[in-house]
């Protein structure tokens, strides 16, 4: 009798589980159909955005395109967040948690050299100079993928157990000097509130892996990054009589060389990956004049907060001591930058298997630490976050021929777009359903 009783009392639970599983499978099939239906549009949107890139805090056309699309899906849409950001809310037909999906929208001051039929010919202004503008970091793909995910999820909204927020962020590459912007400003202006977000998900495309693959790692993933600016003041003189002045170019060159010893001689790189790069050096206007000043700027990448502070101190010491030794003066400014992109371990354990389902377990793997940086990390400081990469290198291109992000030749295999939409929709669904599978 006890055995029969156990079966009797277990039947409702078994029946509930069966009904939930059948309903879940139907929802996933419908979602897959919606992803298939929007795939061609995603490619079209991506090409249009690629052809019309905009610099940080200037994403006016892109944000208008996004907002009109989201309003057409019947969502509550907020514009002008952090200057040009867009936040839309999709409320499901059932109660549940809130998950945010994020895409960045800005391009870079790069002249495109891909030769694509939809290559950018746009011009913009960057730090007072006219520059070419290109989606050299793939943000056009991120926007198109999230537009597609929004359309697919909106089509099944009545069956969603919770709410999805879509965050289209400006200025991931950093706002212009003297301006606020990016993820930090979106957070300050309430992007994660009303309703309060329980988790946030983001992706990045690259040729670091082949199309049809995805990569992620738990905890620390991408580096913390800070910009530094150095100005050296010497004494201007005739180029034929350099002893009559103090040459800031020579002083600056010595500083550039000495900064490289921080990584090569002053940090245990077996324990702490560090990068110090000078990416800009400007001085002088004429070949036979020693100028009064020289300026340079660069980037610092670290994964440990104590090492980060140590690197900052070493930069200041090197700059000050070299300038003093040559009779020059120098100043150093280091901005707060962005923290480490840190994937919450519990959320990663929950969502990692979703990527296995989308891409196949053999096509998903853990990459090395990434010295690139992402201001998505600011969202992760507020709520648990999951960030991953999708591969976009054509299958016939070997890994040693991969084109890095920020290159004027950067391009993607558009076969990466549809799986990207599938990944974002399935990740959202799996998070929302995490506490639903056991039934009431």
Does any domain span residue 378? no
Could you tell me the residue range of the domain that residue 274 belongs to?
Answer: 224-334
**Residue partners of 284: CB distance under 8 A and separation at least 6:** 249, 290, 291, 294
**Confidence (pLDDT) at 23:** 82
* CA–CA gap between residue 317 and residue 209 (Å, rounded): 39
C-beta of residue 51 within 8 angstroms of C-beta of residue 120 = yes
Where residue 181 sits, what CATH number does that domain have? 3.40.630.10
pTM exceeds 0.85, yes or no: yes
Domain shared by 197 and 238, yes or no: no
Domain shared by 204 and 84, yes or no: yes
Coil vs helix vs strand at 118 = coil
Domain shared by 190 and 229, yes or no: no
**Confidence (pLDDT) at 421:** 98
Domain shared by 167 and 300, yes or no: no
pLDDT confidence tier of residue 11, bands split at 50, 70 and 90 = low
Does any domain span residue 234? yes
Does any domain span residue 5? no
pLDDT of 88 higher than 70: yes
Percentage of residues in the chain with pLDDT exceeding 90? 92
Residues recorded for the chain: 440
How many domains does the chain contain in total?
2
Does any domain span residue 151? yes
For residues 178 and 188, which has the higher predicted lDDT (pLDDT)?
A: 188
Does any domain span residue 51? yes
Q: What is the mean pLDDT of residues 367-391?
A: 97
**pLDDT tens, position by position, 16-73:** 555 557 788 999 999 999 999 999 999 999 999 999 999 999 999 999 999 999 999 9
Percentage of residues in the chain with pLDDT exceeding 70? 94
Domain shared by 144 and 228, yes or no: no
Among the candidates 273, 306, 334, a domain finishes at 334
C-beta of residue 352 within 8 angstroms of C-beta of residue 426 = no
Q: What is the mean pLDDT of residues 94-120?
A: 98
Residues β-bridged to residue 312 = none
**pLDDT tens, position by position, 109-128:** 999 999 999 999 999 999 89
C-beta of residue 425 within 8 angstroms of C-beta of residue 433 = no
**pLDDT tens, position by position, 156-186:** 999 999 999 999 999 999 999 899 999 999 9
pLDDT of 278 higher than 90: yes
Domain shared by 166 and 255, yes or no: no
Does any domain span residue 375? no
Q: What is the mean pLDDT of residues 290-294?
A: 98
pLDDT confidence tier of residue 438, bands split at 50, 70 and 90 = very low
Domain shared by 25 and 67, yes or no: yes
Tokens matching residue 68: 């009109």
Tokens matching residue 438: 């056991």
For residues 433 and 19, which has the higher predicted lDDT (pLDDT)?
A: 433
Residues β-bridged to residue 398 = none
pLDDT of 13 higher than 60: no
pLDDT of 140 higher than 80: yes
Domain shared by 67 and 159, yes or no: yes
* CA–CA gap between residue 119 and residue 411 (Å, rounded): 10
Among the candidates 299, 334, 369, a domain finishes at 334
C-beta of residue 181 within 8 angstroms of C-beta of residue 171 = yes
To the nearest whole number, what is the mean pLDDT of the chain? Answer: 95
pLDDT of 201 higher than 90: yes
Domain shared by 137 and 64, yes or no: yes
**pLDDT tens, position by position, 312-371:** 999 999 999 999 999 999 999 999 999 999 999 999 999 999 999 999 999 999 999 999
**Confidence (pLDDT) at 273:** 95
Domain shared by 261 and 127, yes or no: no
**Confidence (pLDDT) at 440:** 40
Q: Which helix (H) or strand (E) holds 431?
A: helix 417-432
Domain shared by 291 and 302, yes or no: yes
* CA–CA gap between residue 375 and residue 314 (Å, rounded): 25
Least confident residue range of 11-20, 184-193, 392-401? 11-20
Does any domain span residue 142? yes
Tokens matching residue 130: 């006219």
Coil vs helix vs strand at 208 = strand
**Confidence (pLDDT) at 7:** 56
pLDDT of 439 higher than 50: no
Domain shared by 179 and 34, yes or no: yes
Does any domain span residue 366? no
pLDDT of 15 higher than 90: no
Nearest one of 197, 156, 193, 204 to 23, comparing CA atoms: 156
Instruction: Show the beta-strand stretches assigned E in 180-292.
Output: 199-210, 214-215, 219-222, 224-233, 237-238, 275-283, 289-290
**Confidence (pLDDT) at 160:** 97
Among the candidates 306, 334, 362, a domain finishes at 334
Where residue 314 sits, what CATH number does that domain have? 3.30.70.360
């Amino acid at each position: 009798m006890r055995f029969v009783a156990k079966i009797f009392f277990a039947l409702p639970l078994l029946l509930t589980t069966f009904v939930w599983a059948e309903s879940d499978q139907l929802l996933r099939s419908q979602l897959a159909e919606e992803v298939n239906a929007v795939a061609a549009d995603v490619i079209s949107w991506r090409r249009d955005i690629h052809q019309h890139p905009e610099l940080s805090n200037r994403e006016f056309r892109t944000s208008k395109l996004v907002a009109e699309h989201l309003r057409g899906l019947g969502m509550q849409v907020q514009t002008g967040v952090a200057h040009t950001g867009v936040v839309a809310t999709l409320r499901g037909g059932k109660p549940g948690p809130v998950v945010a999906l994020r895409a960045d929208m800005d391009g870079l001051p790069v002249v495109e050299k891909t030769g694509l039929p939809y290559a950018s010919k746009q011009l913009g202004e960057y730090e007072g100079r006219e520059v070419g503008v290109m989606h050299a970091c793939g943000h056009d793909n991120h926007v198109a993928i999230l537009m597609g995910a929004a359309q697919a999820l909106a089509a099944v909204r009545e069956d969603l157990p919770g709410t999805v927020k879509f965050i289209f962020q400006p200025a991931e590459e950093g706002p212009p000097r003297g301006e606020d912007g990016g993820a930090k400003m979106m957070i300050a202006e309430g992007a994660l509130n009303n309703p309060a977000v329980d988790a946030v998900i983001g992706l990045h495309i690259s040729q670091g892996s082949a199309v049809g693959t995805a990569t992620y790692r738990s905890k620390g993933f991408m580096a913390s990054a800070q910009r530094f600016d150095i100005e050296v003041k010497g004494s201007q003189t005739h180029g034929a009589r350099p002893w009559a002045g103090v040459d800031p170019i020579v002083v600056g060159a010595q500083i550039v060389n000495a900064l490289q010893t921080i990584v090569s001689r002053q940090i245990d790189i077996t324990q702490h990956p560090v990068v110090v790069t000078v990416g800009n050096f400007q001085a002088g206007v004429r070949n036979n004049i020693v100028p009064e000043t020289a300026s340079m700027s660069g980037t610092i990448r670290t994964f440990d907060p104590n090492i980060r502070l140590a690197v900052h101190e070493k930069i200041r010491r090197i700059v000050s001591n070299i300038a003093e030794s040559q009779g020059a003066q120098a100043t150093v400014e280091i901005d707060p930058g962005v923290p480490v992109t840190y994937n919450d371990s519990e959320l990663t354990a929950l969502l990692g298997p979703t990527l296995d389902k989308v891409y196949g377990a053999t096509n998903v793997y853990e990459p090395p630490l990434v010295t690139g940086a992402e201001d998505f990390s600011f969202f992760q400081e507020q709520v648990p976050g999951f960030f991953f990469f999708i591969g976009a290198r054509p299958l016939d291109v070997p890994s040693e021929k991969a084109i890095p992000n920020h290159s004027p030749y950067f391009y993607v295999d558009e076969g990466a777009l549809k799986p990207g939409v599938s990944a974002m929709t399935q990740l959202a669904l799996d998070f929302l359903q995490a506490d639903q599978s056991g039934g009431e």
